[in-house]
Structure formats: C-alpha cells, structure tokens
Amino acid sequence: MRWRIYIWEEADYVRAYALADAVQQGQWIKPGWRWPAEGAGVKFPTFMKSIVRATPPPFPAGLAKCDRATVCRWEEAEY
C-alpha cells in the first residue's frame, strides 16, 4: 500500500492529513464477515481524543455538518 502523510504546524496544534490507497476488505474485516457497503463510497468517522474544555475550540472541524442531536452530545461532553 502506498501512503503519504502531510503535517502542518498550526498555532497550538499539529494538523495531519494521511492519504493512502483504498483499503481492501481482507485487510480489516474478519474472515467470514462481509461489508454490504463495499464500493459505495462509505466513509468512516475520524476519532479524536476528547479534551474537556470550558469553551469550544475556535474552529471545530466538521461541526457545520452535524445534526442538532450530535452537536448537543458534543456540548454535553464539554467539547
């Protein structure tokens, strides 16, 4: 598999983008299981470390794409 990682230092964090060839089912799914959405352009969520804050970060990535229930969970978890 070919891959590249791009890293930018921001004001108080590091932004990283990872680009790679498509992952084949056999590389992540258990033998005997199947993924019905194969080839449908399905994207998996990105998981981040939760950092409890008094106020939200300045530009939370993806917040504009979230529904109200998701935003509420994020706010209740202290951003």
> For the chain, what are the domain ranges?
3-76
What pLDDT shows up at residue 79?
87
Give 25-65 pLDDT, tens digit per residue: 778 888 888 877 766 667 766 667 778 899 988 888 888 88
N-term to C-term CA, the chain: 35
- CB count within 10 Å of CB 66 equals 13
Please report the beta strands in the chain, taking only residues with DSSP state E, as ranges in sequence order: 3-9, 14-20
Higher pLDDT, 67 or 38: 67
Q: Is 63 helix (H, G, I), strand (E, B) or coil?
A: helix
Q: So what's the pLDDT on residue 58?
A: 85
Q: Are the beta carbons of 11 and 17 closer than 8 angstroms?
A: no
Q: What is the pLDDT averaged over residues 11-37?
A: 83
Q: Could you tell me which residue, 38 or 70, shows the higher pLDDT?
A: 70
CA 69, chain centre distance (Å): 18
